[in-house]
Structure 1
Amino acid sequence: MRNPHDIIRKPIVTEESMNDMAEGKYTFVVDKKANKTEIKNAIEKIFDVKVSKVNTLNMTGKLKRMGANIGRRPSWKKAVVTLTEDSKGIEFFEGM
């Protein structure tokens, strides 16, 4: 089994993700090769909470230009994790 910290890269802290916290939903950047089961197990192990549902989205990198050259930012994977009703929440997000 892979290290949970290799699966969960970083949290996404935006206005929309902060509004979803009231519903028990937390957003993370995850490894592109990780599946929903691996993401669920990693979140439960790192933050000691119960996960009820995981939604994943493959995000395409944006096109960027430097003069005549056109490049692309790297693509990444986003996971929206919904906690169970009896879970207390993730302490990492509480102070934001």
Structure 2
Amino acid sequence: MTKIFEVIRKPLLTEKGQILREKNIQVFEVATWATKHQIQEAVELLLQSKVKSVRTVRIPSRTKRLGRFVGTSGPKKKAYVELAEGPKAE
């Protein structure tokens, strides 16, 4: 198994994420190569609770501009992880 922090990059703390936390759904930025099964194992180890379902979203790279310089941001992947009923993770 790969390491937890190679799969899960960081939690995403947004307004939409706060609304979903009330429904027991956590939002994470994950590695682009991570599968749903790897994400599930990593979250179960990290949060010490069972995972009910995992949904993923791929975000393509975007063109960014700073003055006359043009570059791209890298592609990203988000995971919406629904936890099983029980105590909510902080």
- Structure 1 distance, partners of 2:61, 2:18, is 23
Deviation at 1:5, TM superposition (A): 1.7
**Count of residue pairs brought into register by the alignment:** 90
Deviation at 1:72, TM superposition (A): 1.1
Moved over 6 A (4+): none
Instruction: Structure 1: give runs of 5+ residues left out of the alignment.
Output: 92-96
Percent of aligned positions with the same letter in both sequences?
32
Deviation at 1:21, TM superposition (A): 0.6
1:48 equivalenced with 2:48 (yes/no): yes
- Structure 1 distance, partners of 2:5, 2:67, is 38
- Structure 2 distance, partners of 1:57, 1:32, is 10
Amino acid at match of 1:49: S
- Helix, strand or coil for the counterpart of 2:34? coil
Equivalent in the alignment of 1:60:
60
- Structure 1 distance, partners of 2:15, 2:76, is 20
Deviation at 1:20, TM superposition (A): 0.5
- Helix, strand or coil for the counterpart of 2:2? coil
Equivalent in the alignment of 2:74:
74
